[in-house]
Amino acid sequence: MARLLAAGLLFLVVSLSLPLAMALDKNLAGYPVPSIYRSKFLGLIRRDLSERVHGPETIFKQYEDTWGLQFETFSIKGKILGYNLDFDGQFPYDVTLFDLDCDGVFETKYDPQKHGNLDIAIPECIFRWKTPTAYGESQSSPDAGRRRR
């Protein structure tokens, strides 16, 4: 009975995770992302996407690069989680690149034309991320916010 229950649980976990794995393209080396530093800043929007962080924690920043590509970054606690890329100049964005393990490599690509509508949860690693301050210390540090002399 225990083996049957374990096999059923394994099947349920695999079957629930299979559509998400099949729906997204992966490149473990990472997809190239536009340079924020060579792009013109267009504006930002704050949105509340998680109940785990108080207030509007997600910041969407819009940019236009030197070749006219419009894109936006979305970040939580100072960590960029993804890029929305717009190739045709019309809403919605054409491709979204995600960093689902918070390592700075955008290895996951979502294309709504190819994959349809999909909700992706905020990665768990973002809630463990220590927000950097202006002085290079994390906010959880006892010296966070204290000026150096």
Quickly state the pLDDT bin for 11 (edges 50, 70, 90): very low
DSSP 93-108: -SEEEE-TTSSS---E
Q: Give the pLDDT score at 131.
A: 63
CA–CA gap between residue 94 and residue 78 (Å, rounded): 24
CA 113 to chain centre: 19
Structure tokens at 12: 């349920």
The whole-number pLDDT of residue 91 equals 83
The CA distance from 111 to 38, in Å, is: 25
- On average, the pLDDT of the chain sits at 76
Using the 8-state DSSP alphabet, how is residue 40 labeled?
E
pLDDT tens, position by position, 62-82 = 999 999 999 999 998 889 999
DSSP string, 123-136: PTHHHHPPPB-TTS
The structure's pTM equals: 0.70
> 2: pLDDT confidence band, cut at 50, 70 and 90?
very low
